[in-house]
Amino acid sequence: MEEVEESQKMERNGERSILLGKYEMGRLLGQGTFAKVYKAKNLVTQEYVAIKVIHKDQVKKKELMEQIKREISVMHLVKHPNIVELKEVMATKSKIYFVMEYVKGGEVFAKVVKGRLKEEVARKYFQQLISAVDYCHSRGVSHRDLKPENLLLDENGDLKVSDFGLSALPEQHWNDGLLHTQCGTPAYVAPEILRKKGYDGAKADIWSCGVILYVLLSGHLPFRNDNLMKMYVKIFKAEYEFPPWISSDAKKLISKLLVVDPEKRLTVPQIMRSHWLRKGLPQDPVPPIDLDYGDQKGPEDGEERVLSSSGSKHSPPFYNAFEFISSMSSGFDLSRLFETKKKRGSMFTSKCPATAILAKLESVAKKLNFRAVVSDNEFKVKMQGKVEGRKGKLAVTAEVFQVAEEVAVVRFSKSSGDTLEYTRFCEEDVRPALKDIVWSWQGENI
C-alpha cells in the first residue's frame, strides 16, 4: 500500500496502517483513474469494509468534484438490500474516503466470463437487479452505468448494485425534463443516449437491464462489433440474435426491454409482472398499506376527525430542542453535508396555534384530493391520496409539535407510496398551499 503523509493522519503502527484512528487498512481490491479501493477493518466493530480513496487534486483537475458530491448524495439516498451501502464519508486536505459495505463475492461479470448462467440463477440476479433499480427510480435516481462489472455478489450469493459515479438526480434534468449528458459503457448504453437529443434516465436504465439479462443468459453481448460505429448502428436498430438455448419467455422479456423507442419499452412494474420474472415468486404481490379511517364522518365534506375518549390535549407534544436544532441543520458530519437538499420541504415552523394548523392541514388535504384523518388528541393529520400512484396510494402524516410558547414545528413523513411522489407532494403541492401559516421551512433562514 502506498505511503501516506502525516498530514493525512494515516499512521504506521508496526505492520499495521491505521486510517484516521478508526480503520486498519488492508489489501488493494481495485483501482480506477482517480481512486483506489482497499479492504479495511473497523477497529471498534471489527467489521470488514471497503474504502474508496479519492485524490482531490486529480478530481479538481478534471472538474469532477460536483460528480463526487452527487455520488455521495445518491448513495445516502438509496438504502436497499441489493445496493452496496455507503457507511460514512471522511475527508482530509488531500483525499476523500468512501467507507462502504464490503461485498466479498466478486463481480457478476467474473461469472459470466466463464460462460452463460443457468436460467434460475440468472432469474434470481435479475429479480434482485430490478428490485434495486425500481427503488432507485422511486427515489428519483437513474444509475446510468448498469453492467455486470457494477453488480457485486455477497457471501450469500445475493446481488448488490455498485458504482453510482455516473448516476443522476432530478435536479440534473433540463427544462425539457430530460437528461443530456452522454455517459455509460458503450455496449450497455441505450440508443437515445447516443443520439444526443435528451433522454429519460429511468428508461435508459431499463435498456441496460435488458442487455444485462441477455448477457447473463447467453454469455456474450447482444451488440458486438470491433468497430464502435458499427456496434452503434446495431444498437440504433436493436439488431441482435438469440442463441437457441434461451427460453421463449426470456426471449419475450428481453425483446420488450431492448426496444429502440423508450416510450414503448417495458416499465419496471410491467417487468415485475412478467411471467418469466414471476416464476418462483409468490403469486400475489403484497398489497399497499392503507390508512385506518375509523367510523366518524364529518357532516359536510366526508372527511374524518378522530377524538380520544379523554378529549383533546391542551397543547401538542413538546419537541426536544436538541432534536429540533439537529434536524434543522446539516451539522458538521461531511456525509450529511450533501443531504440537506433531500430534507427540504419536510418540516416547517409556524407561529399559529396548533388547532389552526390542524384545520389548515385538513383543508389543504381536501383541496389536493386527499382523504384526511385529524387526531386532535395526538395533534396529527393523516392524509391519503385517492388516486393510485406508482406504488399504490400515497399516504402522508403531518405531526404538530411545540417548540416554544408561540412556536410550533410541523413535520411531514411518508407512511406509504412512492418516495418521489411524496417529495413532489411536499415541494409542489403542500409548500405553496401552506404559505399563509408558515414562518420558515426547514433549511431556510428565519
Does 287 fall in a domain? Answer: no
Does 87 fall in a domain? Answer: yes
Counting the structural domains of the chain, the total is 3
Q: Structural domain of residue 62, as residue ranges?
A: 6-101
Q: Is the pLDDT of residue 316 over 80?
A: no
- Domain ends where: 73, 101, 129? 101
Please report which confidence band the pLDDT of residue 440 belongs to, taking 50, 70 and 90 as the band edges: confident
Where residue 94 sits, what CATH number does that domain have?
3.30.200.20
Residue that wins the pLDDT comparison between 40 and 402: 40
Residue that wins the pLDDT comparison between 298 and 316: 316
Residues 263, 368: one domain? no
Residue that wins the pLDDT comparison between 6 and 140: 140
Query: Which set of grid coordinates corresponds to residue 4?
Result: 501516506
Does 218 fall in a domain? Answer: yes
Q: Give the three-state DSSP class for 164.
A: coil
Residues 274, 134: one domain? yes
Q: Is the pLDDT of residue 310 over 60?
A: no
Where residue 229 sits, what CATH number does that domain have?
1.10.510.10
Residues 130, 229: one domain? yes
Mean pLDDT of the 99-110 span = 92
- Poorest-pLDDT segment among 64-78, 180-194, 325-339: 325-339
Sheet with 35-42, side-by-side order of all strands: 10-13, 16-19, 23-31, 35-42, 48-55, 95-101, 86-91
Instruction: Tell me the per-residue pLDDT of 177-234, one tens digit each, with 9 for 90 and over.
Output: 889 888 889 999 999 999 888 999 999 999 999 999 999 999 999 998 889 999 999 9
pLDDT of residue 135: 93
Residues 425, 329: one domain? yes
Residues 23, 79: one domain? yes
Does 292 fall in a domain? Answer: no
Does 33 fall in a domain? Answer: yes
Does 299 fall in a domain? Answer: no
Instruction: Tell me the per-residue pLDDT of 385-402, one tens digit each, with 9 for 90 and over.
Output: 988 888 888 999 998 887
Residues 323, 376: one domain? yes
Name residue 432's amino acid.
P
- Buried/exposed code over 313-348 (b: 16+ C-beta within 10 A; e: otherwise): eeebeebeeeebeebbebeeeebbebeeebeebbbb
The yes-or-no answer on residue 134 being catalytic is: no
Where residue 358 sits, what CATH number does that domain have?
3.30.310.80
Residues 144, 206: one domain? yes
Q: Is the pLDDT of residue 7 over 50?
A: no
Residues 66, 116: one domain? no
Residues 115, 264: one domain? yes
Name residue 303's amino acid.
E
Q: Which residues pair with 413 in a beta bridge?
A: 397
Of the candidates 57, 134, 145, 292, the residue annotated as catalytic is 145
Residues 152, 190: one domain? yes
Q: Which residues pair with 370 in a beta bridge?
A: 385
Does 135 fall in a domain? Answer: yes
Instruction: Tell me the per-residue pLDDT of 137-190, one tens digit each, with 9 for 90 and over.
Output: 988 999 999 999 999 999 999 999 999 989 998 878 887 888 988 888 999 999
Residues 115, 95: one domain? no
Does 274 fall in a domain? Answer: yes
Residues 86, 200: one domain? no
- Domain ends where: 86, 101, 116? 101
- Measure the CA–CA gap between 112 and 404, rounded to whole angstroms: 61
- Domain ends where: 101, 122, 148? 101
